[in-house]
């Protein structure tokens, strides 16, 4: 193989590794689980920026941006499910880890806004 072919092989390997790592880190809940939690009275939290939230959000969701989450944990109940979402599922996955480490045991990462039930 020449240098250009090796470059493509390496780039392809990096892309595949990125996709696999993202899937392992995000761990988005199945749509039926998200819907079940919402019907059970889950608190729905949008962890996107205030600007993203203002541009459109899930009905009934509250906006607690990911970077503000550690300082606003007292706003979230520990006695009911919490459904988290963002734009793609990456920030909501990070938010889920923050909440789980803080002792929240009913946390669901719904993924991106477009993954939530209509």
User: What's the pLDDT tens digit per position in 65-82?
Assistant: 999 999 999 999 999 999
Give the start-to-end residue ranges of the domains of the chain. Answer: 28-115
Residue 16 has pLDDT above 80, yes or no: no
- SS3 label, residue 14: helix
Quick check: is 86 catalytic? Answer: yes
CA distance linking residue 78 with residue 107, whole number of Å: 9
Q: Is domain 28-115 in CATH 3.40.250.10, yes or no?
A: yes
Residue 93: per-residue pLDDT: 96
Residue 30: per-residue pLDDT: 94
Residue 116 neighbours by CB distance under 10 Å: 20
User: Under a CB-based contact definition with an 8 Å cutoff, are residues 82 and 69 in contact?
Assistant: no
Residue of 34, 42, 82, 86 marked active site? 86
Residue 21: per-residue pLDDT: 46
């Amino acid at each position: 193989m020449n240098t250009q072919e090796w470059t493509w092989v390496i780039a392809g390997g990096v892309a595949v590794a990125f996709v696999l790592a993202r899937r392992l880190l995000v761990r988005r809940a199945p749509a039926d689980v998200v819907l079940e939690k919402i019907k059970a009275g889950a608190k729905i939290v949008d962890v996107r920026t205030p600007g993203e939230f203002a541009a459109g959000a899930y009905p009934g969701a509250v906006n607690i941006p990911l970077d503000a989450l550690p300082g606003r944990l007292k706003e979230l109940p520990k006695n009911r499910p919490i459904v988290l979402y963002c734009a793609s599922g990456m920030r909501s996955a990070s938010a889920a880890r923050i909440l789980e480490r803080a002792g929240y045991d009913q946390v669901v990462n719904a993924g991106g806004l477009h993954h939530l039930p209509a």
